[in-house]
Amino acid sequence: MNRSGNNLLFEEIRAEGRAEGRIVGRMEVLLDLLAAKGFELSEADRTRVVSCSDTATLQRWLVRAVRAGSLDEVFGEG
């Protein structure tokens, strides 16, 4: 592989790492926020959060969690 090919591969790997970091960061903030609000997550809810790899879904749950009075308000379909 030539030098520019190596650079492209490096940039791809770096971008994937950044995306993974954003996902993990949102997961951690969501779990911390829910705990700070006193919500007790079931094992199923915790698994739902940590297995989610969609940044839009995690962001939606985070926004809902700020105002939520229950876990149903966070994870509900509405």
HSE, side-chain direction, 13 A CA sphere, residue 26:
20
d(CA 59, CA 3): 37
Contact 63, 54 (CB under 8 A): no
Confidence of residue 78 (pLDDT cuts 50, 70, 90): low
Domain spans in the chain, listed from the N-terminal domain onward: 3-75
Query: Per residue in 48-67, is it b (16+ CB within 10 Å) or e — as a string?
Result: ebeebeeeeebeebbebbee
pLDDT recorded at residue 1:
58
Tell me the pLDDT tens digit for each residue of 1-56: 566 777 887 778 877 777 787 889 999 999 999 999 999 999 999 999 999 999 99
